[in-house]
Amino acid sequence: MLKRHFPIFLVLALVMLALLLPFLLPWSYDQIDWEAVRAPAFSGSHIFGTDEIGRDRLARLAAGTRITLMVAIAAALVSLIVGIAWGATAGWIGGRVDEAMMRIVDGLYALPFMFIVILLMVVFGRSILLVFVGIGLVEWLTMARVVRGQVIALKQRPFILAAEAAGTPSVAIMWRHILPNIAGVALAYLMLTVPQVVMVESFLSFLGLGVQEPLTSLGILVKEGADDMDMTPLGLALPGGLLVMILVCLTIEGERLRDRFS
The footprint of another protein (CB under 8 A) covers 107, 109-116, 118-125, 195, 199, 202-203, 206-209, 219, 222-223, 225-226, 229-230, 233, 236-237, 240, 243-244, 247-248, 251-252, 255
Contact 246, 14 (CB under 8 A): yes
CB 251 to another protein: min, Å: 5
Q: Based on CB atoms, which residue is closest to another protein, 18 or 218? A: 218
Q: Based on CB atoms, which residue is closest to another protein, 37 or 111? A: 111
CB 125 to another protein: min, Å: 7
CB 232 to another protein: min, Å: 11
Quick one: DSSP state of residue 44? T
Three-state secondary structure call for residue 45:
coil
Query: Which amino acid is it at 233?
Result: P
At a CB cut-off of 8 Å and minimum separation 6, what does 26 contact?
45
Q: Based on CB atoms, which residue is closest to another protein, 17 or 252? A: 252
Tell me phi and psi for residue 32, to 5 degrees. Answer: -100, 125
Q: Based on CB atoms, which residue is closest to another protein, 49 or 254? A: 254
CB 217 to another protein: min, Å: 12
CA dist 78 and 137 (Å) reads: 7
Continuous H helices in 51-127: 57-93, 95-109, 113-123
Q: 15: which strand partners? A: none
